[in-house]
Amino acid sequence: MREEVTLHGIVLSSSLQSEYDRRMVVLTKERGRITVFASGVRRGTNPLQSKTQMFVMGSFTLIPGRDSYRLVNIDVDEYFHQLTMDIDAYCYASYFCEVMGFMTHEGDRAADYLNLLYVSLKALEKGQMPAKLIRCVYEIKLMDVFGQGIQSFHCPVCGKAEVSNVFDAASGGLLCDGCKGRAKHPLHLSDDAVYTIQYINGAPLGKMYNFNVSDPVLAEIQLVSKQFMDMYVDRKFKSVEIIDSLP
Ligand SMILES: [Zn+2]
């Protein structure tokens, strides 16, 4: 018999596999994104039933198989119940999990990814910052954590440590005065928008979700984030259509 392992993670998705069984995708700190089968959890009073839901964070005791894991137990740290009771927050959280599932793979050392997802779900749950802004921060930081971030301190074309207010997704970020004329699709940003992007890139994870911006600046940041994601993430996410349709 294979030995059990204990991995720390968040359930990115959980679907019915059969009448009593669930199939989960879990982002784990130690082994990246893995697939976990939970058999019999929907049977009667099985205590694992409520623990095998989306967003649950905790320590997963598992038996490794050839290309998936079998669930033994979950020691839950967070249920993120709030997210399942507010439909808008639920939709944003689902999107965050879907994007993370696409970006990660089995075998990744995923501590940074997991921390980013955790603080972002927490921010949605607290609800102090508008969800639209949380989404932008998440997207911008996500790209950064995955090594494909918006260049906001150095010109992505020549490397000069000075940038203008001209953003160009194809070039990779904010261009310097010397290079901005070469932007294919220049976006001329306000000073506040530039500062906000630099703040998001520079802030540690624990301080990313403690600010607000005016509506016009939010609109600029949304455009920057959308253009950047469209340029570098080759995927249309199912859940994005839903949140794009929210007021
Ligand atoms: Zn330059």
Residue 52 CB: number of other CB atoms within 10 A? Answer: 22
Here the tokens at position 69 are 């894991």
pLDDT at 196: 97
User: What tens digit of pLDDT does each residue of 97-152 get?
Assistant: 999 999 999 999 999 999 999 999 999 999 999 999 999 999 999 999 999 999 99
Q: Are 5-79 and 86-244 the same fold in CATH?
A: no
CB-proximal residues (5 Å) to ion ligand 1: 155, 157-158, 160, 176, 179
pLDDT of 46 > 90? The answer is: no
User: What tens digit of pLDDT does each residue of 202-226 get?
Assistant: 999 999 999 999 999 999 999 999 9
Report the relative pairing of strands 69-78 and 57-64 from DSSP bridges: antiparallel
Which range has the worst mean pLDDT, 42-56, 62-76, 119-133? 42-56
pLDDT of 1 > 70? The answer is: no
Compute, in angstroms, the gap from residue 232 CA to the centroid of ligand 1.
Answer: 20
Residue 175 CB: number of other CB atoms within 10 A? Answer: 25
Confidence band, pLDDT 50/70/90 cuts, at residue 49: confident
CB 205 within 8 A of CB 122: no
Compute, in angstroms, the gap from residue 167 CA to the centroid of ligand 1.
Answer: 12
Q: Which CATH number fits domain 5-79: 2.40.50.140, 3.40.47.10, 2.70.98.10, 2.70.70.10?
A: 2.40.50.140
Which CATH number is associated with domain 86-244? 1.20.1440.120
Cα separation, 126 vs 235, in Å, equals 29
- Mean confidence (pLDDT) of the chain: 95
Compute, in angstroms, the gap from residue 107 CA to the centroid of ligand 1.
Answer: 37
